[in-house]
């Protein structure tokens, strides 16, 4: 027997029933407020020395470090999937790391060689070069260190030299991820003076001192050698007004776009930045966020595929123009289907 349920007086709705728009997939698609497209995704990749070489990252299941030849193949796959740009991070061999981080401005370093190789083979894809010293330093810090102090201006001087060799190697975007004061203005002036007016700067404008970077530090080989922490230059996670001041300053210094990092724990900062500034804003879904989704999915705690999509849509809903995510290739292919 079919159960008969009593109806209640719903006249207080005034005829408006919000569920009407949700009754079918075509209707939900028609009124969807935000879009997620392959062009919204940037794929971070880790490069290592070798030929046909790939190594697993223990804390990032499914993500591998790739040798330069395999990076070129990854770039072709990204292009074919509609991904507009790659963000590249080198795992510099131990014997080339030093207290002065001099390998950062070696024109034949791993970063410069992979930039040149990809740009030669896949010229239509954008290349974002990370500029910070943790990938080259012996102590894992983003800046030069003297007597335990992170040196600001001396670090910026090294970053300028690093950015210039990257630009010469084919970088389309220089992305300072260090959070030193004044580095955007200094980089912009140096790039322009050397004829690289066309090279963009994507500033890590609001980069928080976060525990969510742990797997990334393993990926680039800086975690085990990190001495101390990064709280004197990366931001306090208790603050959001400060983030707006950092973003405003970087824009004034010449940043073409800005990044907020990490992503999911800082959706409020993304939203505030979108409301305050009319510039391209990017969110970085960092390694710890990736690892949490993967490990929770593997444990059966969540639906892994659904969580990936929901998290990416959250960044767009918060106001991000694009997302740096390790899921970029997988999701771009799914969206194309």
Q: Which residues are annotated as a binding site for Mg(2+)?
A: 246
Provide the angle, in degrees to the nearest 10, between the axes of the packed helices 267-276 and 241-253: 50
Residue 54 appears among annotated catalytic residues? no
Task: Kindly state the tokens that stand for 76.
Answer: 């072709």
What kind and span of H or E run contains 90?
strand 85-90
Residues 23 and 74: their CA atoms lie apart, in Å, by: 40
List the catalytic residue out of 119, 230, 261, 316.
261
| Residue 262: cis peptide before it, omega within 30 degrees of 0 | yes
Residue 207 appears among annotated catalytic residues? yes
List the catalytic residue out of 119, 207, 230, 316.
207
Residues 103 and 105: their CA atoms lie apart, in Å, by: 5
Residues 184 and 254: their CA atoms lie apart, in Å, by: 6
Q: Are 97 and 147 in contact (CB under 8 A)?
A: no
Q: Are 318 and 37 in contact (CB under 8 A)?
A: no
Give burial (CB, 10 Å; 0-12/13-18/19+) of 146.
exposed
What dihedral do alpha carbons 184, 188, 191, 197 form, nearest 10°?
Answer: 140
Q: Could you tell me which residues come within 8 angstroms of residue 324 by beta carbon, excluding any fewer than 6 positions away?
A: 42, 43, 44, 87, 259, 282, 283, 284, 285
Residues 175 and 182: their CA atoms lie apart, in Å, by: 14
236: DSSP letter: P
Within 10 Å of residue 288's Cβ, how many Cβ atoms?
A: 20
Give burial (CB, 10 Å; 0-12/13-18/19+) of 133.
buried
Residues 137 and 162: their CA atoms lie apart, in Å, by: 13
Which residues carry out catalysis? 207, 261
């Amino acid at each position: 027997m079919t159960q008969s349920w009593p109806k209640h007086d719903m006249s207080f709705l005034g005829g408006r029933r919000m569920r009407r728009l949700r009754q079918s997939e075509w209707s939900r698609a028609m009124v969807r407020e935000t879009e997620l497209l392959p062009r919204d995704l940037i794929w971070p990749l880790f490069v290592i020395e070798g030929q046909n070489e790939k190594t697993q990252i223990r804390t990032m299941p499914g993500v591998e470090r790739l040798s330069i030849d395999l990076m070129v193949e990854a770039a072709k796959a990204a292009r074919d999937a509609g991904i507009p740009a790659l963000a590249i991070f080198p795992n510099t061999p131990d014997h080339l790391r030093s207290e002065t981080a001099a390998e950062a401005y070696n024109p034949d370093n791993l970063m410069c060689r992979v930039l040149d190789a990809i740009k030669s083979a896949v010229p239509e894809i954008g290349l974002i070069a990370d500029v910070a010293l943790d990938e080259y330093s012996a102590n894992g810090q983003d800046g030069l260190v003297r007597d335990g102090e992170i040196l600001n201006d001396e670090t910026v001087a090294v970053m300028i030299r690093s950015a210039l060799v990257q630009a010469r190697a084919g970088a389309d975007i220089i992305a300072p991820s260090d959070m030193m004061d004044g580095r955007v203005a200094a980089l912009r002036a140096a790039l322009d003076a050397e004829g690289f007016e066309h090279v963009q700067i994507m500033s890590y404008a609001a980069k928080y001192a976060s525990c969510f970077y742990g797997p990334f530090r393993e990926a680039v080989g800086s975690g085990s050698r990190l001495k101390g922490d990064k709280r004197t230059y990366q931001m306090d996670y208790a603050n959001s007004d400060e983030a707006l001041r950092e973003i405003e300053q970087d824009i004034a210094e010449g940043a073409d776009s800005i990044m907020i990092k990490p992503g999911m724990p800082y959706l409020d900062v993304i939203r505030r930045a979108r409301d305050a500034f009319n510039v391209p804003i990017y969110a970085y879904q960092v390694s710890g966020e990736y690892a949490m989704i993967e490990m929770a999915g593997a444990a059966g705690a969540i639906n892994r595929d659904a969580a990936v999509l929901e998290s990416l849509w959250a960044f767009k809903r918060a106001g991000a123009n694009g997302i740096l995510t390790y899921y970029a290739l997988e999701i771009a292919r799914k969206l194309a289907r």
